[in-house]
Structures are given as C-alpha cells and as structure tokens.
C-alpha cells in the first residue's frame, strides 16, 4: 500500500504531509476535494505550451521535489503559513503534490484562511503528469 492510500472507510491517510494530522476524516477530505477547481495534467500541459501566465506551487517535501518536479515554487505544506506571501493572487496558481490530496488540503487552507480565489488543484498530482504527459519522468 502506498502513502496517501485509503486506510479505512472513515479516514484518509495523507502520508508524508508534515505538521498536519496523519489521518483526516474521509467526509472532511471529500468536502475539501469536491468543491475546488481542478486542472488535468493535459490541460496544464496545454496552458504551459501556450505560455499562459500561471504560477506552479508544489507543496511536497524537498526530497520528493528532487525526484521529479515541474519547476515553480517549492513550498512544503508545513511552510505554507510562513511562505504564503510567495503565492500570487493576480494569475491562476496550480497547486501540485504527489497525487492531489495534499494540494487539496493546501488549497483549502489558502482559500479559507487567507482568501485566495485563484487556485487550481492538479488532478492526480505529479503522478498524473508523469503517466499522462511525460512518461520519461521519474516516479515514486
């Protein structure tokens, strides 16, 4: 079983997210994840290819970012409260993690607590990018 896997019918395991509860009630996770704007890996590829103004924010840990990344800002989950000022409000911001779960948590925090309204979750995370857009990208 990989980190970030569903471990019971009522809790979700966010694996290696630092400074956050390891297990989050599934209903709460679904509430966060269901009502947010998303972008697929292929849609993001197309936007980047057309030089659309877009900021990429990766909320994984540095060791994960070293394995594979799309560039952009690395702001690990535990650093969001201190580093949120690096996230732009004037252009679309795509938030990235491994499979899209931590980025959903980050988007919830940024929108609910700090008033961001320009955030998109990369559906399926960097793993979706690697499988759907760049099969040569390293995976973990």
Q: State the Cα angle at 50 between 105 and 131, rounded to 5°.
A: 50
CB 7 within 8 A of CB 13: yes
Q: From the candidates 59, 97, 107, 126, which is the catalytic residue? A: 97
97 is catalytic: yes
CA-nearest of 88, 84, 124 to 104 is 124
Parallel, antiparallel or unpaired: strands 23-25 and 11-13: antiparallel
Task: Give the three-state DSSP class for 7.
Answer: coil
Which tokens hold the place of 12?
Answer: 């979700």
**Residues with active-site annotation:** 97
């Amino acid at each position: 079983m990989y980190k970030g896997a569903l471990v019971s019918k009522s809790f979700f395991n966010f694996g290696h997210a630092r400074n956050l509860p390891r297990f989050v009630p599934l209903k709460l996770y679904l509430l966060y994840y269901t009502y947010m704007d998303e972008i697929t890996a292929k849609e993001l590829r197309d936007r980047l290819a057309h030089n659309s103004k877009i900021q990429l924010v990766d909320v994984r840990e540095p060791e994960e970012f070293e394995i594979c990344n799309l560039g952009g800002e690395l702001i690990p989950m535990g650093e969001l409260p201190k580093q949120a000022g690096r996230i732009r409000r004037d252009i679309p911001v795509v938030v990235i993690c491994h499979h899209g779960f931590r980025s959903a948590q980050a988007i919830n925090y940024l929108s609910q607590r700090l008033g961001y309204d320009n955030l998109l979750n990369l559906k399926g995370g960097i793993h979706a990018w690697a499988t759907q857009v760049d099969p040569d990208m390293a995976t973990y």
